[in-house]
Amino acid sequence: MEIIVPLIIQAISGAVGGGVVGNLIKSIGVPMITKLLLGGAGGIIGGGLASGAGPLGGLLGAAAGDPAGGLDMGSIIGQVAGGAVGGGALTGIGGLLANMMKK
């Protein structure tokens, strides 16, 4: 249960971040479901990196003094922020790649 809750938080915040970036940047010509899926995947990656459970061995989380995530308020805020940023970034990158392939 301790593993699933942070993943759900990260995926939801990533989907929100992806949806926001997709709506702000109108040139991302992909369907909304694609923006949300990219955002969710980016949210899990970004939230994992921010909480210290990512593939970089907790580079960001260790720097913030947070071992490997958790369910305290600081960890949840970090997961939401990392998820939103990661989701927005992956959606933006995916949209740029999709637009490059169309041309």
The whole-angstrom separation of Cα 81 and Cα 92 is: 16
Close Cβ partners of 61 (under 8 Å, ≥ 6 residues apart): 49, 50, 51, 52, 53, 54, 67, 68, 69, 78
Predicted local confidence at residue 84, as pLDDT: 95
- Concatenated DSSP letters of 71-82: SSHHHHHHHHHH
Tens digit of pLDDT for each residue in 76-93? 888 899 999 999 999 999
Between 15 and 51, where is the model more confident?
Answer: 15
Tens digit of pLDDT for each residue in 18-69? 999 988 887 777 888 989 999 999 999 998 888 776 544 444 444 444 445 5
> Both tokens of residue 65?
């003094």
Predicted local confidence at residue 99, as pLDDT: 82
Predicted local confidence at residue 18, as pLDDT: 93
Predicted local confidence at residue 56, as pLDDT: 45
